[in-house]
Each structure stands twice: as C-alpha cells, then as structure tokens.
Amino acid sequence: MTTRRLTDRLGGLAFGGDYNPEQWGPEVWKEDDELMGRARVNLATVGVFSWALLEPEEGRYDFGWLDGHLDRLHAAGVAVDLATPTASPPPWFTLAHPDAMPVTPEGTRLTHGSRDTYCVAAPAYRLAARRIAGALAERYGDHPALALWHVHNEYVTLCHCDHTAAAFRVWLRARHGSLDALNDSWGTAFWSQHYTSWEQVLPPRATQWHQNPGLLVDFRRFWSDETLAAYREQRDAIRAHSDRPVTTNLMLPGYQNLDLWAFGREVDLVTVDHYPTEPGVGAAADTAFGADRARSFGGGAPWLLMEQGTNTVYAKGRVLAKEPGEILRHTLGHIARGSEGALFFQWRQSRAGAEQWHSAMVPHAGPDSRIFREVEAVGEAVARLGELAGSTVRARAAVLHDSDAWWAMDVDGLPSTELDYHATLSRAHRVLWDAGVTVDFAHPEQDLSDYRLVLAPALLLLSDAGAANLRRYVEGGGTLLVQHTAGAVDERMHARLGGYPAAPLREALGVRVEEYRPLREDEHIALSDGSRATAWSESLRTEGAQTVAAYTHGMLADGPALTRHRFGAGQAWYLSTRLDDTGYAALAARLIAESGVVPELPGLPAGVEAVTRHASDGRRWHVLINHRAEAVPLPESAHDLLTGAQANELAPGGCAVLRAH
Ligand code: GLA
C-alpha cells in the first residue's frame, strides 16, 4: 500500500488538519463545513484524543457521535485520517489499571490529567489499545470517508516501571544470550555492577552518579523496539478489517526516543509533525531539516506532513507569530522535499483545555482574520499542485544519521557536555542547505554509492559494519567528511583501542587520533588556513593523509586539524575540531565543488531555496522559495503552477512551483 493511494483518493495533495468536533456543537460544525470548503480542506484527522468519548467505560463503545462526523465530512467532500485514541487513556483506565501508568526514573508514578500517560510495556495498556484499534477498524474500515489510519499520536512516553523492567530483561536475553555476555557488553567490572541474576537488571532508574552507558543505550534500543511492537499490534488489528494505509505521526526532530529508521520500514507512509522553534530563516532551515529526515526514513518514498502550526511554537518560551507568507513558505518547504501535502494542528483553535493558546487554521478570532485568510490562500496553492502527487526527490549528498549514535551522545560522562547530537546534525544539514544542495539523511550501514558527498558529523558510536561501509564508500569513489569524535566507540559503547576512529575508517581517513582535547568554554583557536575553531580539538597524526589545516598554538601547534586522504577512487576528509560558521561553509563549498554535487537549478543566488520533484515518467517541477527581502529574477521563465501563468521572477519572500522544461 502506498501513499499513491492516499493522493488518488484525495484527487491531489492533502490539505487540512487535526479536527476535534467533540469540542464544539452543531452551529460550529455547520460553519466548519463551509470554511473547510473555502480553505480547500480535503483531509481531516479525527479522533486523536477521543478515547474517553469512544469508550466511556471499559468495553462499552459509543460510536454514534463519530458516525455523524464521518458522514458529515464525507458529504462535505473531506476525507478522514482516522486516529486510534491511544495517546490519551481516559480516567477510568487509570483507576482500573494503575500499574499501566508510567513511572519516572525517580519512581514517581504519573496519573491522568494530561496526555501521553501510559506505559507501552504494560499488558493492560497494550490490550486496551489493541481492542479499541480493532473496534474502530471493524466499524470504519471501509467507510467511504476513510483515507488513512493514524495510529496513536507521537509515541514519546518513557517508563521505568516493573512491567518495563520485565520486558527489558526479555529483550536483553534475546540480544545478549547470556548474563555473562551482558556483563561483558556493559563493562560491569567497573564500579562493582556485575549481575549474577537477570532479576537484578533494572531500567535506568535514578542513581547516585553516572549510569552505565551500555545499559543506557540498550534501554533506548529496547524502548524503541517495544514501542514499535505496540504500533505493529495496532496496525495489524486495523489491517484485519481495512485496506487503507496505516501510519503513526513521528515526533519532531529534537526528540529521539525511537529508531525512526525502523518505524519508517513499518508504516505505509511516513508522517511527521514539525514545529520550528525559532523564527525567520532558521525556521525555514529547520523545516528543510525535518522534511529531509521524513523523506529519508521512508527510503525516499513520498511522505506526509501531518502537523504544522500557523504560528511558531515555543521559540524560547514564546509563541511567535509566523510572518505574512511564512505559512506558505513552510508548507512549500515540506512539499518541495516530498510531502504529499500539508496538514496542521489543528483546524479550529480550542477555546478551553491545555492547548487553548496553540495556533490553528481557524483562530479564536474566527474566519475574519489574517490567519484564516492566509490558510485559504495556502489551501488554494496546495490545490494547484495536484500533478506533483507521487513524485520524489533525488539527492546526491547525504548526512549520516543513526539513533544509536544519538543515544550514545546522550549518556553521562562524555569528555564534553558540548557534544550535542541534534545540534551537530542540524548544523551539517544547514551548511549544505545554505549552499543550495538537496540532502538526504542516510544510515551509516546503508548503501551510499548513489551519493557523491557524505557528511558524518556526529557518529561517536559507529558499528564495525558502519566503519567497513564508510571505507567501502570512499574506496568506491565517494567523498566523505568525518567530524571529530566519530567512531570512538563500537555498538556496545566500548572505546576503540589503539587510536580512534574504528580501524577500517582510520585506514580510509589516513589518520590516527591519539587524544581528545576539548577546549575551554569560549576558547577560540586559529588554524593555519586562517579559519577559526571552538569547542574541541584532537591530537592526531597522519598515516597517509595530507594536512589541509594545522593547529597553530598550544600543545597541538603544527599538528593536523583538517586532513584529506585519497583512498581507492575517492577521498576521505577528517575534521578534528569545530569550525566557526565561515570556516565550515568554506569547507562545505570546497567539498561540494570537488565531489561534483551541483545545485538542481543553477543560477539562483544564496537565500533562494530550490528543490526538484521528479515523476517516474520524467516530468519535473522546481519548487522555489525566496527567503530574501528583494525580488530575484529566474534563470529562465517558466509556467508557475501557483499562479497558472509564466513566471520571470520571485517576489521578496515569494514562492513558485515551476514546470521544468
Ligand atoms: C504535537 C501533538 C499535537 C499538539 C501539538 C502542539 O505535535 O501531536 O496534539 O499538541 O504538538 O504543538
């Protein structure tokens, strides 16, 4: 089952959002029908947080109200993305199954009154979730309004309870085979942590001092697998009654409780939520980051933006407005990168409840508002892009991304608290985005031969297979940039001995790192090529590589900082420090030029985003977004789907979707 079916059913790209009619009454529902028509809404996500209404007491379902809304939406020409409500169990569930409430590392058992309050490893929760998913599928599996299934909402809750402990032990037995192997893997000889029975093994509950890094990373792997199993159970309960595609909306890029590559393999189409946390061009770059990730998790297949806001959510503690035109720019930022449309949280701004100040397509002020007028315009724009459905994006550059590596950087006791996985990854993406290069994310163990340029900015943990794969990539002709701390530990969190990084990668890089030397806070160092660096330095020696830039002061003076090694048919670069923005951009420009990665639409200035979507029959569209404050002439005039006319230039902040010749 593919997303093709979704867009076929919709007759174009998706536009709409979370729709919670249970918060309103008949007068408002009538207005909703009219306004959805005006805004060209064709897909509404229904039922995300409706468990208490759908199952008012254990085992007794009330579907009557939902029947009415589905029929009404269908009559209004709006298809339904029907959610299972399992992200928010009702109060009766808590009282009946207190053991299914999540427990914090400190041992506090949480209770209802918010949402996301459940333990995914608790049998009572899993059973209740399967049951309601199956009941919904049985009733609505072939409802004519139904276009998509939305399992749960943002699986995110972590738990440390006894159910979790029991399930963790089962997982550990399967992974390690024996207690001896587990002791060896976790290095329990240190700090007297040796386990003599499985019952002694606990989830990472609060401890006096640093926790065991092997335990921490294994727990994250386990939790992701456990959550994926919970997703699969619901999906399969649905599939028994319905042939519509099934998905779950994945969390924002900054959260990493799940191995999203694994989820990407189990959903019928990847869907993600995205709320930038800074305004302006930073939000646009972050949009591209989230969208490129979403596409990559699904192996390049079309995907769908399940939620965005009509304002920026919580930028440093403030809910900032999106500037006029920004909703369209963000929408097209996602569509450019393969999204089959754009949905919002939520349709109508709630008048009560925990998110009453969260933005919506219809704000408190009602339809006579700037926001609704922009929403109407964006709906109109998306409606004009139907011919893009099913087309995909082709990137020749990739940034390596691995959940294990993220979790490895989350443990205590690393040499610097400035080692930040998410920030490092998004900076590497940003430097290519600024240069106008379309980027995939790729897993370090996947076939990389389609990419001319690969960046490995944050691979503290690198498996043996990953290290061998990167070496193969370079040998086969690729250009690889590896950044500091990469390959320092293996998949068990054991340090690599004899010099970093992992041996096969070391050979490809032609360097051997001997010592990590984090810099003092605010310490800046100069490199011999004039660039400046912060945060980190390393003592290394070349073993075949050429020094491109050397350190210029202190103990490392004259030692290599940036190196390059021709290896096989390719070249491998090693950057042992953190360059400032100018230096990093200059390095990226050099790598882009040397690897032969070309912008998809040459002739545009910096600040104009351009991504091409390719149909399987050879048709192409350039999606252009002008982040500059002045008009920009187009390299050649072309038909713009947004206006239905020839376009010769982009207005300040303007967008175009050009049919390529
Ligand atoms: C998430 C949720 C929504 C809503 C938004 C608010 O993405 O899925 O229910 O809470 O955040 O930003």
Catalytic, 355? Answer no
155 CB less than 6 Å from ligand 1?
A: no
222 CB less than 6 Å from ligand 1?
A: no
Which of 218, 251, 219 lies closest to 105, judged by CA? 219
Quote the strand ranges of 470-619, DSSP E.
479-483, 511-518, 524-526, 532-534, 536-542, 546-550, 560-567, 570-575, 578-579, 608-614
Distance CA 226, CA 290 (A): 24
Catalytic, 199? Answer no
Kindly calculate the radius of gyration of the chain based on its CA atoms and give it in whole angstroms. Answer: 26
Q: Give the residue extent of every domain in the chain.
A: 6-157+242-390, 397-595, 608-659
345 CB less than 6 Å from ligand 1?
A: yes
Distance CA 290, CA 273 (A): 9
The pLDDT score that the predictor gives to residue 510 is 98
- Alpha carbon distances (Å) from 180 to 167, 195, 215: 19, 8, 14
- Give the Å distance between the CA of 178 and the centre of ligand 1: 42
**Cβ(534)–Cβ(526) under 8 Å?**
no
- Give the Å distance between the CA of 307 and the centre of ligand 1: 7
Which residue's structure tokens are 């792997």? 221
| DSSP per residue, 295-316 | HHHTTT--EEEEE--SEEEEET
**Cβ(111)–Cβ(95) under 8 Å?**
no
The pLDDT score that the predictor gives to residue 1 is 44
Distance CA 260, CA 443 (A): 11
Give burial (CB, 10 Å; 0-12/13-18/19+) of 602: exposed
Q: Which CATH class is domain 608-659?
A: mainly beta
The pLDDT score that the predictor gives to residue 48 is 98
Which residue's structure tokens are 């020094």? 547
pTM score: 0.97
Q: What is the CATH number of domain 397-595?
A: 3.40.50.880
Name residues of the chain where pLDDT drops below 70. Answer: 1-4
Q: How far apart are the first and last CA of the chain?
A: 31
Strand partners, 470: none
Distance CA 318, CA 188 (A): 45
In this structure, the residue with its CA closest to atom 12 of ligand 1 is: 313
The pLDDT score that the predictor gives to residue 3 is 46
Residues in the chain: 661
The alpha carbon dihedral of 496, 499, 504, 508 has a sign of positive
In this structure, the residue with its CA closest to atom 7 of ligand 1 is: 273
273 CB less than 6 Å from ligand 1?
A: yes
Q: What is the CATH number of domain 6-157+242-390?
A: 3.20.20.80
Q: What is the pLDDT of residues 235-267, one digit of tens each?
A: 999 999 999 999 999 987 777 889 999 999 999
The pLDDT score that the predictor gives to residue 251 is 84
Choosing from 304, 345, 350, 359 the residue with most ligand 1 atoms within 8 A of its CB, the one to mutate for a pocket test is 345
Distance CA 143, CA 243 (A): 11
User: How is residue 358 written in tokens?
Assistant: 């969260």
Which residue's structure tokens are 């187009």? 634
Strand partners, 614: 392, 620
Distance CA 129, CA 120 (A): 10
The pLDDT score that the predictor gives to residue 638 is 96
Give burial (CB, 10 Å; 0-12/13-18/19+) of 164: buried
Which residue's structure tokens are 């959002």? 17
Question: From the candidates 307, 340, 507, 600, which is the catalytic residue?
Answer: 307
Question: From the candidates 55, 154, 226, 609, which is the catalytic residue?
Answer: 154
